A = this chain, B = another copy of it.
Amino acid sequence: MRATVIHGPSDIRIEEVPEPVVQRPTDAVVRVVNACICGSDLWAYRGVAARQAGQRIGHEFIGVVESVGSEVRDFRPGDFVVAPFVWSDGTCDFCRGGLQTSCPHGGFWGEIGSDGGQGEAVRVPYADGTLVALPKETMGEEKLLPAMLALSDVMSTGHHAAVSADVRPGDTVAVVGDGAVGLCGVLAARRLGADRIIAFGRHEARTAIARTFGATDVIAERGEAAVAELKELTGGQGAHAVLEAVGTEEAMRTAISIARDGGAVGYVGVPHGGSAGVDIGQMFGRNVSLRGGVAPARAYIPELLKDVLSGALDPGPVFDRTTDLAGVPEGYRAMESRSALKVRIIP
């Protein structure tokens, strides 16, 4: 089969690789229907996150179960499924507590020895603990596929930011980051009842999506000017909840600065380097909290899927380009140059 392989910075190739097979009794093999490229894949693409030459890449996919190991109880060939971006055993304390990202048997698609999502098929460890069933009849609904695909990561991650920032009905919420996760954060905040949603961004195509997703205000400034504008919009008080979906020092500094006293920053931007803008002295006197981290998508998918199927939630518009496998390297270039927001792959 063919899959996406990373050989080094800016070196993404589509290669012939071995067909995945069930190796352990808890495995399933899933034929990929849709996959996509994530903003976090760009850290590897840029060479910031280290990868071995020849590692697979991609961690978001929906697909059809092709074969299952002897101990898989919940899935059989032909089932339609979505995979969260981390696999997990489904039985440990962390999995049962809803923090599947801390499962001691868990792992991340594309890590050494595993398949990546950006390929024709994937061997899924701990299928029962990892996969979530999608209704079979949705397989042909082209309009629903992008929304269900987004549950793999960006929609669940945006939701994690909103839950971590403790968004409540009536709140004023600020969203730092205009990538797919930030935009899904806007959706999540609206879904949780935010009254006012202030999105940060200057890229017009993205802020347009933010508005359709529920943003009531958009701030194009950055740094101190952005902080000042948000303060003015909120009568000097700041936002009850701030969603940080970038991971840079500047973004974190902004996020903490614009939180209302007693408010919380839900951080889901993958941090790059040390304290990444966290100034505890700035948080202390104002009782600003910092919650979040890597999103336990597996815990959130069932709840979010219900709303996707009912039509109440549609993160599909974060995909602004579709490609086949051959177009994946160009998809990375487009996302790196910000000419594409998020690229969907139909292998």
Contact = CB atoms under 8 A, between A and B. Distances in A.
A310 B264 CA distance: 35
Contact of A294 (B101, B273, B287): B287
A126 interface: no
A107 interface: no
Contacts of A99: 261-262, 287
A140 interface: no
Interface string A287-319: 111111110100000000000000000000000
Contacts of A287: 99, 101-102, 292-294, 296
Given A99-B262, A261-B94, A287-B102, A280 B294 contact: no
Interface string A267-301: 10011111111111101111111111110100000
A97 interface: yes
A165 to B, nearest CB: 11
A51 to B, nearest CB: 17
Interface in A95-142: 97, 99, 101-102
A302 to B, nearest CB: 19
Number of copies: 2
B288 A279 contact: no
Contacts of A296: 287
A252 interface: yes
Given A102-B262, A261-B102, A281 B271 contact: yes
Nearest to A236: B104
B281 A273 contact: yes
Contacts of A283: 290, 293
Contact of A281 (B264, B274, B292): B274
Nearest to A269: B284
Contacts of A291: 264, 289-291
Interface string A148-184: 0000000000000000100000000000000000000
Nearest to A287: B293
B279 A275 contact: yes
A101 to B, nearest CB: 7
Q: Which 7 residue pairs of A and B lie closest in terms of their CB atoms, listed nearest first? A: A275-B275, A287-B293, A102-B261, A289-B291, A99-B262, A276-B280, A290-B290
